[in-house]
Chains A and B, each alone.
Chain A
Amino acid sequence: MTSDLQQAARANTAAVPAISVDGLHKHFGTHEVLKGIDFQAHDGEVVSILGSSGSGKSTFLRCLNLLEMPSAGRLRILGEEVGMKKVGSSLVIADQRQVDRLRTQVAMVFQNFCLWHHMTVLENLMEAPVHVQRRVRGEVRDEALAMLERVGLQDRAGFYPAQLSGGQQQRAAIARALVMRPRALLFDEPTSALDPELVGEVLKVMRDLASEGRTMLVVTHEMGFARDVSSRIVFLEQGTIAATGSPRQLFGGGVSERFDQFVSRFNG
């Protein structure tokens, strides 16, 4: 469903990365979680972020839309530097309105779906486009319904989240992110809270999005998805990028000993 307009926009801005960070540091108290990460995601890239638990991968992803404030470093979204200012020893958001605007451009999909339980699925989808982006309600409604159809939930528009299975809730959450027309999608372990038999339906939606040329950053433990779908792997270990490259390079083995060990634990 990529429109010509979107493609044209991508062509124009191909040189500007959708997301770019320099020297990203994050510590909680004395515990250093991210130790200086440089990273860029270009339009159309699907980046899988792998690493064992505690490697900082979720924190890294959450820093990219400032759900977590970096301790140091620079963040640019669509080429626009995100304003942060120092208060005491920590950074805070300098301009909340800028951050609110940019957050709709890097939409987040959470491990626990985090749909708003007091709203129907359709209301969940329409909330941000209508109240944050101030788009016309009728148009948003049509787009939301179309998006629900794309994730296979056209007959669930009037349901409340509690009436859906985990897989359906996550697909609804992905649709909620898409209706904001973001330039990039951030997935924070989107299948980790799902029963094994429900993982497939969510991964299928994500594969479809990837094949459309969506820009996606995915923190995941799904090695199959990382190997087959992503265009690039970023392997985090102890707060630094220990290895990065195409899935073919990394999964071929021999690039990084630590990565090979990490992967063998999944295959073992």
Chain B
Amino acid sequence: MDWLFIQDIFRQMLVGIPLTLELTVVSLLAGFVLAGLVQALVSSRHGIIRRPAAAYVELFRGTPLLLQIFLIYYGLGQIDLLRQSFLWTLLREPYWCAVLALTLNTSAYTAEIIRGAVQAVPPGEIEAARSCGMSGLLLRRRIVWPIAIRHGLPVYSSEVIQMVKATSLASIITLNEITGITYRLASDTYRVIEIFTVAGFIYLSLNFVVSLVFAVVERFLNGHLADRRT
């Protein structure tokens, strides 16, 4: 084992962590906001609103993220109207193309997670809230959302972990996040086993921290599940 070499590539890869985290966090935040909107549309009573939103979810869950990145990065540039608009200043940057693809992708999954979490709120507890004079935003804010968050959080933690890994696809459009750096190192040195193993270790460590954070938050929220007398 060549520890010096491993230390050297490890240090070089660490440089990619901020970009990996930035892509993850920015897309997750934007994706969550978008997901809330999509979910609201999906649960509409009117088919004319509900069906396009449902189609959006199916489209982005049903096609590979890599294709979505290609279409956005290479495809959008062929639309003249877009090239002439102010949006082009953003969309000609690979960074924003990656953020856009990741955001759209996670928003579709997250919309489904939110829908499932809200549906799992026991109808009796909502009815009890109504019978106590709650309705509209108050009912959602005090009863529905707090219960839904507790249902949705374990599923959402998987989505966050998926997203950390999904950012590696941004390397294909020239972004130097962890995988981008890893790939360059591998093609420079051909020491494939060490390099990809170290990269895997870095992703594993990042996701371990993600799991830990969610476990702590869940423990904090789920006092009602703990067999603990307060």
Residues of A within 8 A of B (CB): 65, 67, 96, 99-101, 103-104, 107-108, 110, 112, 114-120, 127-128, 131-133, 158-163, 173, 176, 180
B186 to chain A, nearest CB (A): 49
Q: Is the CB of B135 within 8 A of A96?
A: yes
A-chain residues with CB within 8 Å of residue B136 when the two chains form the complex: 96
Q: Are B224 and A161 in contact (CB under 8 A)?
A: yes
For B224, give its contact among A110, A114, A162, A173 (CB under 8 Å).
A162
Residues of chain A with a CB closer than 8 A to B223's CB: 160
In the assembled complex, B51 has its CB within 8 A of some CB on chain A: no
| A99 surroundings in chain B (CB, below 8 A) | 135
Are A127 and B133 in touch, CB under 8 angstroms?
A: no
A112 touches B124 (CB 8 A): yes
Given the complex, which residues of A lie within 8 Å of B209, measured CB to CB?
none
Q: Shortest beta-carbon distance, A34 to chain B, in Å?
A: 19
Of B125, B138, B227, B230, the contact of A120 (CB 8 Å cutoff): B230
* A158 proximity list for chain B (CB < 8 A): 229-230
Q: Is chain B's binding surface mostly helix, strand, loop or mixed?
A: helix
Contact yes or no, B125 A114, CB < 8 A? yes
Return the chain B residue nearest A65 by Cβ: B131
* A159 to B225 CA separation, bound complex (whole angstroms): 11
Residue-by-residue, is B122-146 near A (CB-CB < 8 Å gives 1, otherwise 0)?
1011011111111110100011001
In this assembly, does B147 line the interface, its C-beta being within 8 Å of a C-beta of chain A? Answer: yes
- In the assembled complex, the Cα of A107 lies from the Cα of B132 at a distance in Å of 7
Q: How far is the CB of A219 from chain B (nearest CB, A)?
A: 14
* Bound: A160/B127 CA distance, A: 19
* Residues of A with C-beta under 8 A to B146: 118
Question: CB distance B224 to A101 under 8 Å?
Answer: no
How many residues does chain B have at the interface if contact means C-beta atoms less than 8 Å apart?
Answer: 26
Q: Are the CB atoms of A162 and B225 closer together than 8 Å?
A: yes
Contacting A at CB under 8 A, from B210-230, are 221, 223-225, 227, 229-230
In the complex, besides A127-B142, A133-B133, 6 extra interface pairs with C-beta distance below 8 angstroms are A96-B136, A118-B224, A119-B224, A127-B132, A128-B132, A163-B229
A103→B128 contact, CB < 8 A: no
CB distance from A124 to the nearest CB of B (A): 9
> Are B135 and A110 neighbours in the complex by a CB distance under 8 Å?
no
Best-surrounded residue of B132, B150, B224, B230 (most CB of chain A within 10 A): B132
Closest to A106 in B: B131
A42 to chain B, nearest CB (A): 22
Of the listed residues B128, B134, B147, B230, the one surrounded by the most CB atoms of chain A closer than 10 A to its CB is B128
List 8 A-B residue pairs with CB atoms under 8 Å apart, sorted by A's residue number. A100-B133, A100-B134, A104-B132, A107-B132, A110-B128, A114-B127, A116-B147, A132-B134
